[in-house]
Structure 1
């Protein structure tokens, strides 16, 4: 494909930092760019290759990989790459390949350095984008609120596309957030304008509502940078609006993420999201134990490690849902796939089974059963292939009991709350950790609000749930020792899951029920419980510290097993710990036991 000089200038004038150049400078610069075609899956350059210059994506998609072959980012039109190597020593510090047919513009390195020397705005831009290696690890601990563009430019649904384009040019941005009544309705990007307006020959007076991407993927300000990158890679998008409730508070673009890297988890998410079968997906998920080792060795906190690992399970579930729909056709009525258990709480480790369910729209009819049975079996079988083994208790969407209409689910929860017998307590404990994964999320939003209100208003139910939460006790023995497992395969070990993590998870769930907290994550529930008065600040901090130590010990134990070539598990021998480690772990169990005792005596707080 050839570009006319005028077309090239128009394109450059829409790309930052070239849009800051005077028209004469831009006219002199444009002829220096070479136009290069790269077919899909072709290599643009390899690590340590001499770089010919700065690359700019005109069309298509490019994947940039670090020295370990891990994805740094996926770049679309108007994104540059290669400048880090040019600025450093002229050799590529990454590799790049086309994941779609690409048209690239290459500014030779002599022209690049001349432009940097002559134009301060260009030098500032590329110096700002140049990351140091240590910065990449920050993606796993940095929240979106810390690097998003705040107060994004917005427009109404009725604005014309021409006016929207002028607004983007005025603010030197590549997207607009489209709002109505203070709520986010969609997002309009430069790619939307070229592919939906210009390519289709629509009039410039077309309202943005006809061209925008409706109901875009959004994340909250508390999302990790890795969550943003994973969403971009899974859904092949370059812009993620950041919302607080229904309010748009920021935007994150691909450019914002070029200086970050999400360790190896982003690469696994990308591979899972592109897999054509469960067996292909399993090649990626098989690397999760090694990912666990790397994340723990890098000093990441447990909530970061488990979030990243859970992201892979989420991506696998959504990809399997997509593959199921491709095989079975469009669903006859809307549905929502939800995860519970550790995936629901975003707390998966190196060993996890699957716990999930399906909520079906109330328009579901008997003749739809064959479709949803096939879909549930397809996804559950696929997850099992990927290493997320079938739930021993059969709490999966493949079980008809957990594949029901919304009205039936409403009846389930109402029944458990009205008559909280032993089975009801057990089921409610699992199902109160539900988190939507794929499908129509509106099927859960109203149900969750109703159920939390019902539970919070029923003191008998919460008392029964509190009693159920005391069944898992920390492994404390006499004389400052541990109560280890007495017989069987895991004799003389501590079960760090059922006697360590689960008691804290149960306590956090009770605090959530008492105060109507919607979060499923244990740490988020404890923090919110302290804020809302379900637990005192000092009690919450003690319990958080205890939980952190138990979870970190659990992950380090699993990483040690993987390094030995063994399968990760939750059974720790106290003899493998130093005296210092044993003392602190026992102190953590004492805190948990004390909090359980306070709950058992009807005390909502520990002062």
Structure 2
């Protein structure tokens, strides 16, 4: 190569991920080994496993298109785009071949495979970025976007925060002896009660005051008469976030840290708030103790501030969704409690459930309300009038607090979605047995529900009923699949257009419709196919892996794509908030960096492959 060209090549590739990670002297060394190829319009590069010479290609000028062996368009490439990852054996075994064609006069930089191998051995981060597997490339992108230093308490394990001093007592001990054991445990104000080695109860100093001293009870009676049972526990390896969520959901202040039947310590709200100043916990506590409906909307700015801080702090996308869901839960529960105070005690048992992104713990700044009420079968028409008032109070309150009403009216305040358990079961029976008659919209909304207040046995019974119906109705899952693959991910971003497979290119990328929703729909299908009761997208795919329905490799590919796409949406929403604009899901191609564009193509390809696999697996 003419050495006079090297500075120009260095300047060009030095701005492209992942070469921008290399030291200047190494970058110059790479540039020196690059060969330059000119392709006229229509000229091709054929890739196959038998190719004797292998290169990584960088488009300097012009444009290319890739097609699969069957002629289907795989992607279009412009300046700064890189291709040839798949054929970098031995990094990955070649799975299929394709052809790259110049669609205009094109100049390519070719980096020899041998040179790349040396770089991947010396620079691990570079290795992931040029890996043949899209999963590794996406993980590399996430590592760049997210900084481990900023994750803080959210990703700490319970064992790192909990107090190791806790009293463990026997169920037959007297109240007075248990109090002495609690005093001897120094900082601990809680005792874990066991019977034959099994945890059966819990007692706190507050319980002692309220249940024993205040009522003048005999302090020599067995502790089992006044203990709290059953007991919620947390594993030492669980995230603090999970523990905080349990505390807020059940209104408890102490969680025994347990592995098997061994009590290792105690986690309290004081551990979280006083020592770590976790902002989200503070907001949840504020919401919990708000006394009037007028006070709640004033906290909305804090909710937005937390979202912005989480995104700016490079916290993992799945953690952001869970934290925002915890906050939404807190608002929802507090409004239900206020409504019960306003209209009196509920006349019958009920279960307030949430659906959609709220049920999946995947909340963002645009998430609206999806909710419903399951009533006891004893409910009368007069009872329904009560719940009509209660639900309107709650949904209107949520709307005032920045959680928009559902545009499709899938809310508890809609009388259609406030029904007895028996009627709900009839709904599911009709939806599952007649998916071809326009029932899929209804069922897709309520295929993931989560109880946040009331008798959660109702939603569990409904979920069990759903799984039984699906097992009996062979046409249901294929119908869901046909609906899920009707929309396909775009081929990629090319110049200022989003390339849709339909051929109708658009000016914006709807990242919800053409990417995230497609993954959520597929997770729902895989989860239902294996009877998974969990609602989260990642949890459903993981459960499908444990049941042998999805490979570990496909699971990792899909989750890396899901997390990357979620992070792109969060960043887009953050930019809108900074500019004082209303967040949306529509991203202008001009706002997508070459870094993001490259990884979006990987994500779209993963979704497309998963759609094809689901179609084959669940076809009629």
TM-score computed with the length of structure 2 as normaliser: 0.69
| Superposed CA offset, 1:58-102 (max 9, x none) | xxxxxxxxxxxxxxxxxxxxxxxxxxxxxxxxxxxxxxxxxxxxx
Indicate conservation of the 8 Å contact 1:334/1:440, yes or no: yes
Counterparts in 2 of 1:250 and 1:465: CA distance versus 1, 3 Å: farther
Q: 2:530 aligns with which of 515, 518, 523?
A: 515
Q: Distance in 1 between matches of 2:180 and 2:579?
A: 60
2:272 aligned to which of 257, 266, 271: 257
1:391-431 residue CA offsets vs partner (Å, 9 max, x unmatched): 11111111111111111112222222222225322222211
In structure 1, which of residues 265, 279, 282 is the aligned counterpart of residue 297 of structure 2? 282
- Determine the C-alpha separation between the residues in 1 that align with 2:594 and 2:556: 24
User: CA 1:527–1:441 in structure 2 vs 1: closer, same or farther (change >3 Å)?
Assistant: same
Partner residue of 2:498 out of 482, 488, 492: 482
| Equivalent position of 1:415 in the other structure | 430
Of 529, 542, 556, the residue aligned with 1:527 is 542
Distance 1:245 1:285 in 2: 41
Tell me what 2:182 maps to. 168
- CA shift, 1:509, in A, is 0.6
Residue 471 of structure 1, CA deviation: 2.7
Q: Structure 1 pair 409/178, CA: closer, same or farther in 2 (3 Å)?
A: farther
Deviation at 1:550, TM superposition (A): 0.6
Q: More displaced, 512-521 or 211-220? A: 211-220
* Compared CA separation, residues 179 and 464, structure 1 to 2 (3 A): farther
CA 242–581 in structure 1, closer or farther in 2 if over 3 Å, else same: same
Deviates more, 1:293-302 or 1:471-480: 471-480
- Tell me, yes or no, if structure 1 residue 238 matches structure 2 residue 253: yes
Q: 1:221 to 1:530 in 2, by over 3 A?
A: farther
Quick check: 1:484–1:494 contact (8 Å CA) kept in 2? no
Query: Is the Cα contact below 8 Å between 1:362 and 1:407 reproduced in 2?
Result: yes
Q: In the alignment, which of 424, 435, 442 is matched to residue 457 of structure 2?
A: 442
Q: Which residue of 2 is the match for residue 138 of structure 1? A: 152
SS in 2 for 1:299: coil
- Where does structure 1 lack aligned partners over 5 or more consecutive residues? 1-133
Alpha-carbon distance in 2 for matches of 1:276, 1:567: 30
Conserved? CA contact 2:150–2:313, under 8 Å: no
Question: 2:596 aligned with 1:577, yes or no?
Answer: no
For residues 283-322 of structure 1, the C-alpha deviation after alignment (integer angstroms, 9 at most, x for no partner) is 1123333322211111101111111111111000100011
Q: Which moved more, 1:169-178 or 1:417-426?
A: 169-178
Counterpart Cα distance in 2 of 1:321 and 1:252: 28
> 1: CA distance between counterparts of 2:446 and 2:375?
16
Distance 1:370 1:461, change over 3 A: same
Whether the aligned pair in 2 keeps the contact of 1:139 and 1:260 (CA below 8 Å) is no
Aligned to 1:592: 607
**Within 2, Cα distance between the matches of 1:466 and 1:145?**
42
Alpha-carbon distance in 2 for matches of 1:380, 1:239: 31
CA contact (8 A) 1:135 1:259 kept: no
CA drift at 1:170: 5.3
1:136–1:260 CA contact under 8 A, matched in 2: no
Query: Which residue of 1 is the match for residue 476 of structure 2?
Result: 461
Cα distance, 1:177 vs. partner? 3.2
Q: Give the alignment partner of residue 333 of structure 1, picking from 345, 348, 356.
A: 348
Match of 2:391 in 1: 376
Q: Contact between 2:372 and 2:411, CA under 8 Å: does it hold in 1?
A: yes
SS in 2 for 1:601: helix
Residue 283 of structure 2 aligns to a residue in which SS? helix
Structure 1 window deviating more from structure 2 (578-587 vs 278-287): it is 278-287
Which residue of structure 1 aligns with residue 142 of structure 2?
A: none
Cα separation, 2, equivalents of 1:376 and 1:520: 23
Is 1:203 aligned with 2:198?
no
Kindly indicate whether the alpha-carbon contact (under 8 Å) linking 1:357 and 1:395 is maintained by their aligned counterparts in 2: yes
Tell me the SS of whatever aligns to 2:617.
Answer: coil
CA distance in 1 between partners of 2:363 and 2:159 (Å): 24
Contact 1:456–1:513 (CA under 8 A) maintained in structure 2: no
Cα deviation digits, residues 552-599 of structure 1 (max 9, x gap): 101011111111221221111111122221111121011101110111
Of 142-151 and 242-251, more deviation after overlay is shown by 242-251
Q: Runs of 5+ in structure 2 lacking a partner?
A: 1-147
- Partner SS for 2:558: helix
Structure 1 388/248 Cα, relative in aligned 2: closer, same or farther at 3 Å?
farther
Do the aligned residues in 1 keep the contact of 2:151 with 2:315 (CA within 8 Å)?
no
Q: CA deviation at 1:202?
A: 1.3
Q: For the residues of structure 1 that align with 2:202 and 2:368, how far apart are their CA atoms?
A: 37
Cα distance, 1:530 vs. partner?
1.8
Equivalent runs, 1:520-559 vs 2, <5 Å: 520-559=535-574
Name the residue aligned to 1:3. none
Match of 1:367 in 2: 382
Deviations 1:479-516 (A, max 9, x none): 79623799xxx971111112111000011111101111
* Structure 2 residue matching 1:459: 3-state secondary structure: coil
Give the Å deviation of 1:180.
6.6
User: Using the alignment, how far apart are the partners of 2:249 and 2:201 within structure 1?
Assistant: 19
- Measure the CA separation in 2 of the matches of 1:391 and 1:473: 25
CA distances 1:255-310 after superposition (whole Å, capped 9, x unpaired): 54367536422222122112223331111123333322211111101111111111
Deviates more, 1:469-478 or 1:457-466: 469-478
Say whether the 8 Å CA contact 1:306–1:347 is kept in structure 2: yes
Contact in 1 for aligned 2:491/2:501 (Cα 8 Å): no
Instruction: Note if 1:503 corresponds to 2:518.
Output: yes
Identify the structure with bigger relative contact order (alpha carbons < 8 Å, sequence gap 6+): 2
Contact 1:161 1:207 in 2 (8 A): yes
Name the larger-Rg structure: 2
Conserved? CA contact 1:154–1:179, under 8 Å: yes
CA contact (8 A) 2:311 2:574 kept: yes
| Separation of aligned partners in 1, 2:492 and 2:537 | 26
Q: Equivalents in 2 of 1:359, 1:246: separation in Å?
A: 35
